[in-house]
Amino acid sequence: MQTTATLVATDETDRLIAADKVVGTSVYNLRSEHLGSIYSLMVDKISGQVAYAVMSFGGFLGIGESYHPLPWRVLKYDLRMGGYVVDLDRRRLEGAPSYSASSLPDWSDREYGHRIDDYYGVPPYGI
């Protein structure tokens, strides 16, 4: 019984995390290659659901960095890796919707989100 309770508690520990701590978490692909890290979370104000996690990729100290919004549902948290794992090789990542610090996307354009969802083959968010 004690063992079960401990396992449950551990699961809970790993379950809730402050949003500002998600930022900076590493993202890997299925080959355990480091792809980037979480830069920000786009949250649905009404439902409280994280719709997109924006991954930063490449660059050095923010220079030359690109930002890839990923639908939350393509990210799987991997307790063993201590980060998110996504089924995405580098080549596919390079062709994915992305932006730079000097070309921020217009999140108010619903087509923008839909292009992201399309690319990753998930149902359009918010429909």
Choose the stretch contacting a second copy; rule: CB under 8 A; options: 7-15, 27-35, 59-67, 92-100. Answer: 7-15
Phi and psi at residue 63, in whole multiples of 5°?
A: -90, 125
Strand partners, 76: 85
- The only residue of 26, 29, 37, 40 in contact with a second copy, by rule CB under 8 A: 40
**Could you say which DSSP state residue 74 is in?**
G
Give the burial string for 4-42 (b: 16+ CB within 10 Å, else e).
eeeeeeeeeeeeeeeeeebeebbbbbeeeeebbbbbbee
Cβ 12 to a second copy shortest distance, Å: 5
- The only residue of 14, 33, 87, 89 in contact with a second copy, by rule CB under 8 A: 14
Q: Which is nearer to a second copy, 8 or 30 (CB)?
A: 8
Q: Which is nearer to a second copy, 94 or 111 (CB)?
A: 111
- The only residue of 2, 4, 48, 91 in contact with a second copy, by rule CB under 8 A: 48
Cβ 30 to a second copy shortest distance, Å: 18
Q: What SS3 state is found at 96?
A: coil
**Residue count, binding to a second copy (CB under 8 A):** 38
Question: Taking the CB of residue 107, how many other CB atoms lie within 10 A of it?
Answer: 12
Interacting residue ranges for a second copy, rule: CB under 8 A: 8-10, 12-20, 22-23, 40-53, 72-73, 75, 77, 107-110, 113, 126
